[in-house]
Amino acid sequence: MSFTRSLIAGAVVATLVAPAAFAGGHGGNPAVKARQSHMQLYAHNLGVIGGMARGNVEYDAEAAQAAADNLVLLTQVSQRSYWVPGTSNADLGEETRLLPALFEDGGFAKAVEIGGNLAAAAEGLAAVASDGQAALGPALGPVGAQCGACHEAFQQPNN
Amino acid sequence: MIGRLVKGLILVALVVAAAGWVLTRPATVEPERFATLTGDAAAGEAVFWAGGCASCHTESSATDRTLLTGGYRIESDFGTFVAPNISPDPEHGIGGWSLTDFANAMLEGTTPEGAHYFPSFPYGSYRLMADQDVADLWAYLQTLPPSDRPSVPHELSLPFNLRMAVGGWKVLYLDRGLVGPGDGAQLERGRYLVEALGHCAECHTPRDAFGGLDTTRWMAGAPNPSGRGRIPGLTPAQLTWSEGDIAYYLETGFTPDFDSAGGGMASVVKNLANLTPEDRTAIAAYLKALPAAE
């Protein structure tokens, strides 16, 4: 009896908790989550190279090259399902910092152009990542410039 | 008796009006002050980048940050200010100006015709510039390409479109000196870069009801006049990055966790990337030395 009771109680608790857990783990707009994850991968790999460029981390040619190669790959991933109309901060509020400007006149074409520039800058970085610590900073600059160009046009600044 | 009272009142009104006119008329620099100065265009380029001219006087999409067509729109509680063409074009830009005209604009907020500029042009900060830097910047601006794009008028409503009223604003707020710490050569340089040239406080310091900077909350952050969100505070309790982190951010736009600057700061970074590493470090040192404010 008591065993049956605890089973029932367990089932009731599970029924109550599961939707909340599901919402916590899988809620949110999938496009927003995908692009934020993509940005995190950029940031992580930039951090590996940036730490060496700044002299905070000892230079390691293999690690620098691997991170730079990752960046090149990331610029080649198709993002067409990330940046879909209806997912700006005008639509979703604080869930995203994407400005509606991306979907307004010429916005998308501009973003695509910046994406192309970013790919070229990442290739430039990958071409010199094994050449020593001194090569990193100057090659990282053009990458950062494209990050900034896109954020300036399409991202609501942090509070 | 009534007649005398009316006469007296009229007299008082005239005196007040005259005093008001004298107090609030557009000021100009003594012409001799700049007569002997020779500008150095190469030195002026450094002033240009530190002064952030390109952020408002080029189009945000412009790849050439020295084609000073104007066009940037500053949204505010008072209306929308549109930055004018300041390229050397003699008709649409400032090619017909003299160095003294330029000094009057930068240091006194006064047009060559003797009217007030609106303080969206940050002469409240630029007036702290060294005369030689004004002359050098003027020399550099002469070397830039002309643009024949006409300037666009501001979009302001009454009473904020009255340039005369700016005279009163200047009386209230234009006596501000240097505010932050400046002990030693590095802090002094950082303070000059932040408070005079970079005019950082124009966004990062809150304003009172009439749009004057609240110097008691210096660099403590402010509402974003052009929309949602806040301009962040930069005092050490608010900005906890190291001096090196700040200098690196000003050079590359990368935060310590390798997010990248957005909004207006992305444009500011494009300017500051052209400074010497020593100057960026001086700015960072100044920020780390700011007193606490809320």
Which of the listed residues B140, B173, B206 is the one where a domain comes to its end? B173
| Enclosing H/E stretch for B53 | helix B53-57
Q: Would residue B14 count as lying in a domain?
A: no
Q: Would residue B255 count as lying in a domain?
A: yes
Mean pLDDT, all residues of chain B: 92
Binding site residue list of A for heme c: 147, 150-151
Q: Would residue B242 count as lying in a domain?
A: yes
Structural domain span for residue B99 = 29-173
Q: Would residue B229 count as lying in a domain?
A: yes
Q: Would residue B13 count as lying in a domain?
A: no
**Which residues have C-beta within 8 Å of that of residue B120, sequence separation ≥ 6?**
B74, B76, B81, B83, B154
What's the pLDDT score for residue B75? 85
Look at A69 and A24; give whichever has higher pLDDT: A69
Task: Identify which of A42, A54, A157 has the shortest CB distance to residue B262.
Answer: A157
Section B153-180 average pLDDT = 88
Report DSSP state, residue A93: G
Cβ neighbours of B288 (radius 10 Å): 19
Q: With CB atoms and an 8 Å threshold, state whether A44 touches B258.
A: yes
Instruction: Produce one character per residue of A121-131: b if its CB has 16 or more CB atoms within 10 Å, e if not.
Output: bbbbbbebbee
pLDDT score of B49 more than 50: yes
**Which residues have C-beta within 8 Å of that of residue A115, sequence separation ≥ 6?**
A75, A79, A150
Condensed to tens digits (0 to 9), the pLDDT of residues B74-111 reads: 888 888 999 999 999 999 999 999 999 999 999 999 99
Mean pLDDT, all residues of chain A: 87
Nearest residue in chain B measured CA to CA from A142: B252
Across the strands, what pairs with B207?
Answer: B213
- AA letter at B112: P
What's the pLDDT score for residue A44? 97
In this prediction, what percent of chain A has a pLDDT beyond 70?
83
Q: Could you give the CA distance from residue B68 to residue B55 in angstroms, rounded to a whole number?
A: 10
Question: Helix, strand, or coil here: A52?
Answer: helix
Asked if B159 and B202 sit in the same domain, the reply is no
What's the pLDDT score for residue A8? 57
In this prediction, what percent of chain B has a pLDDT beyond 90?
73
Q: ipTM of the assembly?
A: 0.80
Asked if B154 and B213 sit in the same domain, the reply is no
**Which residues have C-beta within 8 Å of that of residue A86, sequence separation ≥ 6?**
none
Task: Identify which of A140, A157, A159 has the shortest CB distance to residue B265.
Answer: A157
Look at A25 and B178; give whichever has higher pLDDT: B178
Number of structural domains in chain B = 2
Contact by Cβ (8 Å): B22, B119: no
- AA letter at B106: M
Mutation site, B59, B65, B257, B258, interface A, largest A CB count within 10 A: B258
Q: Would residue B73 count as lying in a domain?
A: yes
Rg value, chain B, Cα: 20
When mean pLDDT is compared across A15-29, A59-73, B35-49, the lowest value belongs to A15-29
Q: Would residue B118 count as lying in a domain?
A: yes
Asked if B127 and B46 sit in the same domain, the reply is yes
What's the pLDDT score for residue A25? 46
| Enclosing H/E stretch for A39 | helix A30-53
**Which residues have C-beta within 8 Å of that of residue B46, sequence separation ≥ 6?**
B274, B275, B276
What's the pLDDT score for residue B228? 67
Q: Which two tokens stand for residue B82?
A: 């549109």
pLDDT score of B146 more than 90: yes
Query: The pTM is what?
Result: 0.87
Q: Which two tokens stand for residue B269?
A: 């970074």
Q: With CB atoms and an 8 Å threshold, state whether A43 touches B228.
A: no
- Residue B230's domain is classified under what CATH number? 1.10.760
Asked if B57 and B118 sit in the same domain, the reply is yes
The separation between the first and the last C-alpha atoms of chain B, rounded to the nearest angstrom, is: 57
Asked if B219 and B246 sit in the same domain, the reply is yes
Section A16-21 average pLDDT = 43
What's the pLDDT score for residue A1? 43
pLDDT score of A15 more than 80: no
Condensed to tens digits (0 to 9), the pLDDT of residues A70-88 reads: 999 999 999 999 999 999 9
Task: Mention the CATH class of domain A28-154.
Answer: mainly alpha
pLDDT score of A27 more than 80: no
List the domain boundaries for chain A. 28-154
What's the pLDDT score for residue B63? 77
Asked if B168 and B235 sit in the same domain, the reply is no
Asked if B104 and B190 sit in the same domain, the reply is no
Task: Identify which of B252, B253, B259 has the shortest CB distance to residue A43.
Answer: B259
Q: How confident is the model at residue A6 (pLDDT cuts 50, 70, 90)?
A: low
pLDDT score of A24 more than 80: no
Which of the listed residues B146, B173, B200 is the one where a domain comes to its end? B173
**Which residues have C-beta within 8 Å of that of residue B245, sequence separation ≥ 6?**
B255, B256
Q: Could you give the CA distance from residue A60 to residue A80 in angstroms, rounded to a whole number?
A: 34
Residues of A in contact with B252 (CB under 8 A): 50, 140-141, 144
What's the pLDDT score for residue A159? 55
Asked if B168 and B203 sit in the same domain, the reply is no
CB proximity B241 to A under 8 Å:
no
Section B63-80 average pLDDT = 89
Task: Tell me the pairing of strands B73-76 and B79-82.
Answer: antiparallel
Which of the listed residues B137, B153, B173 is the one where a domain comes to its end? B173
Asked if B96 and B205 sit in the same domain, the reply is no
Asked if B141 and B226 sit in the same domain, the reply is no
Q: Would residue B8 count as lying in a domain?
A: no
Q: Could you give the CA distance from residue B133 to residue B130 in angstroms, rounded to a whole number?
A: 5
Asked if B65 and B122 sit in the same domain, the reply is yes
The shortest C-alpha distance from A39 to chain B (Å) reads: 8
Asked if B55 and B94 sit in the same domain, the reply is yes
